[in-house]
A and B are shown apart, each in its own frame.
Chain A
Amino acid sequence: MSDHINIKLPEGSIEKQTTTLNLGPTHPATHGVFQNILELDGERIIKTESTVGYIHRAFEKIAERRPLYQITTLTDRLNYCSSPINNMGWHLTCEKLLGVKTPKRVDYLRVIIMELARISDHLICNSIVGVDTGAYTGFLYVMQYRELIYEIYEEVCGSRLTTNMGRIGGFERNFSDTAFLKLEKFLAEYPKVQQELEDLFARNRIFVERTKGTGAISAERALNYSFTGPNLRAAGVDYDVRVHSPYSSYEDFDFIIPVGTSGDNYDRFMVRNSEIWESLSIIRQAYQKVQNFKGAEADVYHADAPEYYLPEKGDVYTKMEALIWHFKIVMGETESPSGEVYMSVEGGNGELGFYLISDGGRTPYRLHFRRPCFIYYQAYEEIVRGSMLSDAIITLSSMNLIAGEMDA
């Protein structure tokens, strides 16, 4: 494996002067299953070779024989730190293909859930950067507040991590009062904690010296490497799918895109922090808008699309037609147009794209996931070349590499 990455020494050299080190595939600092073969001169990295694919699950192949609804569960397992965004992205793709228009209330509920997911994603990343610089407390402390987010998921869809949330056209049920109460609790309690997390790190001398100037990438290189999301924004490019191609009524919200300047670990950390504040503001706006719906509109939680939206469970058990429709929809026997759709959403790590080719059959002809992690991880070698081993580890966590999203 390693003879082609060892440095060729001139004839007559006595011994190899560099050290080969395997970082991963199971190493606590990789936070996922992937390997980096590092060639070290002392503590300085001369060359790395990345190996991914340890948890490759052939989702794209599996998707070729699954009807649309059964693919939602596959998307859960891409970036499992923010699976609701993946679910919504997939449903939005289906809606684009099928031409389903969602009511405004559904859009706003989706925005609430997606922004909660973004917060939980960024929260993991930022607190893990803290862990890798030696501050474990922050991570353990914020976990109990991520729990509040997971409780909201649980109230909305019944599960926590792999949510399988929503349907084509909306949600499986209306948000309960408890869900809104939990949302209010989160909105009331969380900002203080976020401020504490920031105060702990943002001007902490140890943290700043470990992160500033390490793991940097310029805007040009980041664009050339097809970076998206917080990693691109930290390099100073204000590209955000929510603003560039608004979906789910993001155009109704007032928020800014935080950008960094140098694209280093510190900027990535700060950009994610600022995005959490923006997300909180978006959630408040969305919750306000949801509360403004009155009368019958206040109970709308799905589009009127009986051909794609599963009928009420009560009807399925008691009515023949509903049972037939339920069966047809689950088995993918409803009409779907043939065509090619590219739909993208702003996932926790960047532009999460779905390229769906449908030939009108019950399953996609081809489905490709544009996984931001997979695309930006290839820049890792260039970013860490010449840096210290300990900086490379922080870079790994501050880029927020999620193995599930890398392998698909």
Chain B
Amino acid sequence: MPLANDVVKAKLLDQFGEVLTEWDEQYGMLSFTAPRELNLKVLNFLYDSNELSFKFLTDLTGVHYPDRKGEEFCVVYHLHNLVENARVRFKVYAPVETPDIYTASGLFSGANWMERETYDFYGINFVGHPNLKRVLNVDEMDYFPMRKEFPLEDQTRVDKDDEMFGR
């Protein structure tokens, strides 16, 4: 019998209570938010609980919401229970001043590079990560390019030499 979303939700609420918020089921995927200091507790519970056993980390990424004061950065985990074939999306938020979030790389080896990538693009500091340095961008880069304050090049700009850039 597949693991239903409401069963997962009930189990989580049972364990953590009202600190878990923003319950959602868009396009069939259960999604919720936890306070950032609880992220490892929630991940461990999802992993260890016999009934839930979300033991596969599908994806880990960051999102930047400059308009959400105090919770500008979001780290999104997509977890998968391969046996029951259930997926869950789990988010934590962090403010831009102290973007610290505990690393999941102790639980999932695969989170290592995913967190490095998220750090590389958003500057989210994964506390306890064994090797938190840039993975795709050059080491010398001194900004985090996926943040919304870095707009892409204006395609109507005229100060570039057309001959050099082929347009």
Contacts and interface: CB of A to CB of B under 8 A. Distances in A.
B59 interface: yes
Nearest to A374: B113
Interface in B23-40: 26-27, 29, 31
Nearest to B154: A65
A370 interface: yes
A353 B59 contact: yes
Given A64-B152, A351-B58, A353-B59, A52 B136 contact: yes
Contact of B109 (A221, A351, A365, A366): A221
Contact of B82 (A62, A239, A376): A239
B114 A375 contact: yes
Interface in A369-408: 370, 374-379, 382, 407-408
Contacts of B146: 60-61
B152 A65 contact: yes
Chain A contact residues: over half helix, strand or loop, or mixed? mixed
A339 interface: yes
Contacts of A64: 152
Interface residues of B, number: 36
Contacts of A379: 109-110
B78 to A, nearest CB: 6
Nearest to A341: B27
B164 to A, nearest CB: 19
Contact of B135 (A53, A62, A224): A53
A226 B31 CA distance: 20
B26 A355 contact: no
A368 interface: yes
Contact of A374 (B31, B57, B87, B117): B117
A180 interface: no
A294 interface: no
B56 interface: yes
Q: Find the residue from B58, B63, B121 having the highest chain A CB count within 10 A.
A: B58
A244 B58 CA distance: 14
A375 B145 CA distance: 21
B58 A370 contact: yes
B108 A237 contact: no
A212 interface: no
A159 interface: no
Contacts of B26: 339-341
Contacts of A374: 113, 117
Interface string B116-145: 010001000000000000111110000001
Contacts, number: 92
A305 B89 CA distance: 29
A227 B136 CA distance: 20
Interface in A320-376: 339-342, 344, 351, 353, 355, 357, 365-366, 368, 370, 374-376
Nearest to A343: B27
A407 B113 CA distance: 12
A52 B135 contact: yes
Nearest to A359: B65
A55 to B, nearest CB: 10
Interface in A51-101: 52-53, 56, 58, 60-62, 64-65, 96-97
A375 B78 contact: no
Contacts of A245: 85
B103 interface: no
Interface string B55-84: 111110101100000000000101000100
Nearest to B116: A378
Contacts of B56: 223, 226
Contacts of B27: 96-97, 339-342
Given A342-B78, A370-B59, A225 B109 contact: yes
A121 B150 CA distance: 36
Nearest to A379: B109
Interface in A31-65: 52-53, 56, 58, 60-62, 64-65
Contacts of A62: 152
Nearest to B64: A366
B110 A342 contact: no
11 contacts: A52-B136, A56-B136, A97-B27, A225-B110, A239-B82, A340-B26, A340-B27, A340-B31, A342-B59, A375-B114, A407-B136
Interface of B: 26-27, 29, 31, 55-59, 61, 63-64, 76, 78, 82, 85, 87, 89, 108-114, 117, 121, 134-138, 145-146, 150, 152
User: 10 closest Cβ contacts across the A-B interface?
Assistant: A226-B110, A53-B136, A378-B113, A368-B61, A56-B136, A370-B59, A225-B110, A224-B109, A225-B109, A366-B63
Given A344-B58, A378-B113, 4 more contacts: A53-B138, A224-B110, A339-B27, A370-B78
